[in-house]
Amino acid sequence: MPYIGQKPHNKVVTASEISDGIISADKLASNAVTTAKINADAVTDAKIADDVVGTEHLTAGEVDTTALGADAVTAAKIADNAISEEHLDATVVTGLTALAAEPADTDEFLISDAGTLKKIDYSYIKGGGITEADQYRYTASSGGISGDITSNLERVDSDFDKIGTGITNSSGIFSFPSTGIYLVLVQAHINFVNEADNGALLSTYVTTNNSSYNERARAYAGSNSTSNNSNFTVFSSLMVDVTDTSNVKVKFVASSFDSQSYLEGNTDKNHTTFTFIRLGDT
C-alpha cells in the first residue's frame, strides 16, 4: 500500500510523542481507562468532584477514628438508645464535683421505675432522722389550779433548740407544723403540801375537728400516806395521728388540784414539760 509522506513505524506510541491536549475525553471509549492504567495515588483530592464519594464506595471499617475530626460526631448523628453502660466510663461520676453536704429537697436523683428512667426529688426519699421535735415547760408553780393550762408556758431554751419548724402554742392550744405520727409526752411535777390524803391529775386532750376535745392520756399523782408532804413526778404518753394540721390539736388540762396541791414549774429548769416528737408519716 502506497503512503504519502513517511511510512508509519510499526511500534508503540509513547507519551513523549503525544502533544499535551491532543487526546480528549471524546477520543476515549467508555471504560477505556481502567484501574490498571492508573498509577498508585494518581487520583488526588483535586481530581475528585464534591460529593462524588458516597457510602457505596466505602468498605466496612474504612472510616476509623483517625479520619474523624475533633467533635465531628454530634448528638444528631447518634441513634436513640445507642449509648449504653459499656460506653460509659467511671469518670462520668468520679470526675464530677462532689456534693459535700446533705442534698437540698429539690436536688434530683435518677432512678429506674420498672425499666423507665425517671427523676425524683430528694424530699421524697430522705429519711432516717427526726424532722420535728419540740418541748415546752411550765414556768411557775401554781396551787389549786383547775381547767385548761393556758399560761406560764414557754419553749425550752436551755441547751436546746427545736428541730424543724416546731409546735405552735396559742394560749395553751398546741398546733402541729405538718402531718404525721407524733409522740406527745407529759412530765408533771406535783407537790402536795401538808396533805395526807391527796390526788391530782394532768390530762392530755386531743381534737380532730378543731372544736371538740377528748381526754386521751393522764398523768396522775396521789397519796394516802400520813406524812405531811409528798412530791411526785408522773408521766403520760400519747401517739397522735395528725392527718390535718388545721383540725388536729392538743391541750393540757389540770383537775383535782386543791389549794395545797401544786403543779411545779420553773423558767430555768424542767419540772413540768410537754414534749412533741414527729416519728413518721401518717
Domain positions in the chain are 99-128, 133-280
Q: What percent of the chain has pLDDT over 70?
A: 94
How far is Cα 173 from Cα 163, in angstroms, rounded to an integer? 20
SS3 for 133?
strand
Whether 109 and 122 have beta carbons less than 8 Å apart is answered as yes
- Nearest CA among 99, 184, 92, 181 for reference residue 136: 184
SS3 for 93?
helix
Whether 214 and 205 have beta carbons less than 8 Å apart is answered as yes
Grid-cell match 411550765, residue found: 138
Mean pLDDT of 211-235: 87
Q: Is the full-model pTM beyond 0.75?
A: no
**DSSP structure string for 32-77:** -S-GGGS-TT-S-GGGS-TT---GGG--TT-S-GGGSPTT-S-GGG
DSSP single-letter state for residue 105: T
- Pairing type for strands 180-193 and 173-175 reads unpaired
What pLDDT is recorded for position 112?
Answer: 92
- Nearest CA among 207, 204, 202, 206 for reference residue 189: 202
Mean pLDDT of 153-174: 95
Architecture per CATH, domain 133-280, reads as Sandwich (2.60)
SS3 for 233?
strand
The amino acid occupying position 271 is H
Q: What is the pLDDT of residues 183-210, one digit of tens each?
A: 999 999 999 888 777 889 999 999 999 9
- The answer on pLDDT for 219 being more than 90 is yes
The amino acid occupying position 165 is T
